[in-house]
């Protein structure tokens, strides 16, 4: 391994001068600095990350805690796009990202906080987890810089998709199209689900629309099989809905397949809507009515705020930032006669 001493010998300068050149100090000439950097590159020199961490008290490594309960992992459309944006932004600012080992099969597994300290993470972003998990709570309450995605805490920066407003825009559009018999297949209990259900009930009440108990069903996010089962139950009702809202776009296609198999046309016979705005929903005909979440902004803000918290903790406000999505009217909600 090439050392700074080797570079100093090749350039006929002191080790201190090499160190200053490689760290862009201003008290040496620009020509000397460029020469030393060029020689270092030609010799295959790379700075030692451990030594760098000891010197700067930073590893330039960010931990990512991502525990997707439905086991769709990084194929989960919403969070995969959020994390891609997060990764791009973090790398642009000189940081690497590392996933925390979340395997429950591993014996003597460290807690999330212990793993974060073991890896020397400068900070951690937390997304798509059970926020009531004691290990997650421990990490959030620790002294490590932490940013959460899609969940707010009083003592942490939270980057949140505005689920209430997104659901409101979608529902008001469906109502504007004349629908009053509106069913809702929502996701499993979470902060996101609670916000969407709250909006659903409050908006329906605002417009004086009754919600039959059998119109509200539960299915896992990203699970077209369970959504198909719930859709079958709705279609068998004596008074079926004219429109079904699904928990997300991917799951919606489970319900759409059941509707088509029953010989019904979308939207002529029954209307449907999803949530998320995945690419697939914009390509398959008819194009799905949905709410597109701004995953690029969510990931970018999560990275920027976490890095700011790492590098400028006293100047960084602890706040919850709401990111709005936008309604895509698509072609799956018809005017109700």
pLDDT in tens, 279-323: 888 889 999 999 999 999 999 999 999 999 999 999 999 999 999
Any idea which residue has 């902004």 for tokens? 297
Rounded Cα distance between 298 and 258, Å, is 33
- Which pLDDT score is estimated for 105? 54
| 163: pLDDT strictly greater than 90 | yes
C-alpha 286: how far from chain center: 27
With residue 159 as reference, give the H or E element that holds it.
Answer: strand 157-161
Quickly state the pLDDT bin for 76 (edges 50, 70, 90): low
Res 56: pLDDT: 57
Dist. CA 328–CA 337, nearest whole Å: 22
How much is the average pLDDT of 207-213?
Answer: 96
Those residues with Cβ within 8 angstroms of residue 3's Cβ, 6 or more apart along the chain or in another chain: 45
**pTM (2 decimals)?**
0.80
Q: CB–CB of 123/147 below 8 Å?
A: yes
pLDDT at res. 25: 81
Least confident of 26-40, 102-116, 247-261, 296-310: 102-116
Alpha helices by DSSP H, 49-150: 49-56, 77-92, 112-119, 134-140
Contact 211, 204 (CB under 8 A): yes
Is there a contact between 246 and 274 (Cβ–Cβ < 8 Å)? yes
Instruction: Report all structural domains of the chain as residue ranges with CATH numbers, in order of start.
Output: 4-47 (no CATH), 61-161+296-325 (3.40.50.2300), 163-293 (3.40.50.2300)
Confidence of residue 54 (pLDDT cuts 50, 70, 90): low
Tokens of 154: 């009083």
What's the mean pLDDT when you consider all of the chain? 90
Res 106 pLDDT > 60: no
Tell me the average pLDDT across 67-83: 68
């Amino acid at each position: 391994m090439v050392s700074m001493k080797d570079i100093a010998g090749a350039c006929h300068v002191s080790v201190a001068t090499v160190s200053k050149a490689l760290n862009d100090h201003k008290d040496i000439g620009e020509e000397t600095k460029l020469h030393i950097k060029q020689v270092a590159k030609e010799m295959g020199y790379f700075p030692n990350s451990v030594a760098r961490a000891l010197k700067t008290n930073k590893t330039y490594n960010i931990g990512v805690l991502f525990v997707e309960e439905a086991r769709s992992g990084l194929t989960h459309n919403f969070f995969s796009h959020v994390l891609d944006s997060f990764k791009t932004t973090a790398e642009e600012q000189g940081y690497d990202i590392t996933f925390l080992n979340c395997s429950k099969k591993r014996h003597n597994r460290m807690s999330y906080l212990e793993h974060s300290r073991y890896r020397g993470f400068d900070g951690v972003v937390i997304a798509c987890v059970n926020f009531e998990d004691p290990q997650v709570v421990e990490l959030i309450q620790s002294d490590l810089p932490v940013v959460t995605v899609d969940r707010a805490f009083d003592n942490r920066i939270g980057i949140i998709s505005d689920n209430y407003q997104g659901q409101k825009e979608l529902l008001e559009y469906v109502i504007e199209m004349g629908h009053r018999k509106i069913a809702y297949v929502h996701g499993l209990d979470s902060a996101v689900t609670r916000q969407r259900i709250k909006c659903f009930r409050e908006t329906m009440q605002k417009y004086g629309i009754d919600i039959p108990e059998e119109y509200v069903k539960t299915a896992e996010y990203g699970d077209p099989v369970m959504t198909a089962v719930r859709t079958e139950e709705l279609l068998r009702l004596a008074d079926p809905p004219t429109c079904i809202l699904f928990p997300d776009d991917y799951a919606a296609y489970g319900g759409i397949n059941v509707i088509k198999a029953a010989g019904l046309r979308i939207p002529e016979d029954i209307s449907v809507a999803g949530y998320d705005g995945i690419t697939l929903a914009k390509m398959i005909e008819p194009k799905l009515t949905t709410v597109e979440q701004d995953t690029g902004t969510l990931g970018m803000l999560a990275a920027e705020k976490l890095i700011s918290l790492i590098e400028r903790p006293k100047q960084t406000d602890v706040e919850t930032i709401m990111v709005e999505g936008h309604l895509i009217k698509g072609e799956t909600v018809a005017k109700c006669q």
